[in-house]
Amino acid sequence: MKKECAVLVSGGVDSSVALRLVQEQGYTPTAFYLKIWLEDELSHLGSCPWQEDLAYVEAVCAQAKVPLQVISLQKEYWDRVVAHTVSEIKAGRTPNPDILCNQRVKFGAFYEYLDPRFQYVATGHYARVIRDSSHSELHTTDDPIKDQTYFLSHLSQAQLSRALFPLGDLTKASVRELAAQYDLPNKDRKDSQGICFLGKLKFPEFVKHHMGEQDGPFIEFETGKQVGTHKGFWFYTIGQRQGMGLSGGPWYVVAKRTEDNIVYISRDYYTDEKMRDTFVLSGCNWIAGAPEKATLRVKLRHGPHFNSASLEKYGNDSYLVKLAERDQGLAEGQYAVFYEGTKCLGGGVIKRYEG
């Protein structure tokens, strides 16, 4: 008997190819399109391509003769992701709504909604799951640029046990080739670069909508002199070197004082007083148990770069992390995700190290 599989489709090439692969692998798929864009943002910030997305989804499903369900998880998205994201921004931290979206909505609220007859949930993420009778492991793909294990690092064993990632052994180039072979209606569609619930809307626009603008000073870290004016500390994160509009740079954001709306910047980013190699990790999610090794690889943001890091216990549910080399920017609220070989162990949230 074929196993029933729910496939999350977005209108993009990746999820469309994943749908066809699931079908070829012998599952009985039903496609699901999640409405998680927000009415309020759309009415204030212009059009979102969700109607275009849905049109592509319908065409892809019709071609594959796969049933499609459209469900709304807008309230769940606001309650579980957006409200937390806005709160973190107001506190001067750097949240990652995509990690929260996967943990709390796509593999959270959607799991709660889904009929139990669906044994698996497939998505177009670039990641691999290796499972046995006792547990599931999350592993990287062979495409270091597209690998998305960073965004999946807060999934639990229960969530991962039902997850299928059909693109796990593929590169982006090979996915594009498959899209052409399948003659998908969206085979030539470009990838979306926006945050997950607002399509093409850029994160700074989302921040501006919720936080507004308020003039504040750019202060040179070394001299204490004001060298410019910004529109709000919430638009900046530690390590940022673009978007300041100042001459004489490059300038880097090195600190923020949220109570006074001050952003400290510097042209000498890597001097000793701007320590960028030690932090406390809290709010940890370890996919298959806490790490046994003291030295691991770590990603501090999505992308191909790894750093080497040591971990030691630091209180009940925290770790002190020491990087082998300084990083471009360690921002509070940012996620650090740890790896042993290709296995993604999980990770936590960066907190300032007072030392």
Nearest-angstrom CA–CA distance, 282 and 335: 10
5 belongs to the catalytic site: no
Nearest-angstrom CA–CA distance, 240 and 12: 30
Nearest-angstrom CA–CA distance, 139 and 137: 6
Locate the DSSP E strands across the chain.
Answer: 4-8, 28-35, 68-72, 120-122, 128-131, 136-139, 163-164, 216-220, 226-230, 252-257, 262-266, 278-286, 295-299, 307-313, 319-323, 335-340, 343-351
SS3 318: coil
- C-alpha distance across the termini of the chain, in Å: 59
Q: What is the DSSP letter of 304?
A: S
101 belongs to the catalytic site: yes
Nearest-angstrom CA–CA distance, 237 and 92: 8
Peptide bond into 291 cis (omega under 30): no
Q: Provide the token pair at 224.
A: 């204490």
Task: Of 206, 202, 260, 203, give the one whose Cα is nearest residue 230.
Answer: 260
Nearest-angstrom CA–CA distance, 72 and 70: 7
- What angle (nearest 5°) sits at the alpha carbon of residue 25, between those of residues 104 and 18? 45
Nearest-angstrom CA–CA distance, 279 and 240: 18
SS3 116: coil
Nearest-angstrom CA–CA distance, 154 and 348: 8
Active-site option among 5, 61, 101, 344: 101
Phi, psi of 80 (to 5 degrees): -100, -20
Active-site option among 5, 48, 61, 196: 196
Q: Catalytic residue positions?
A: 101, 196
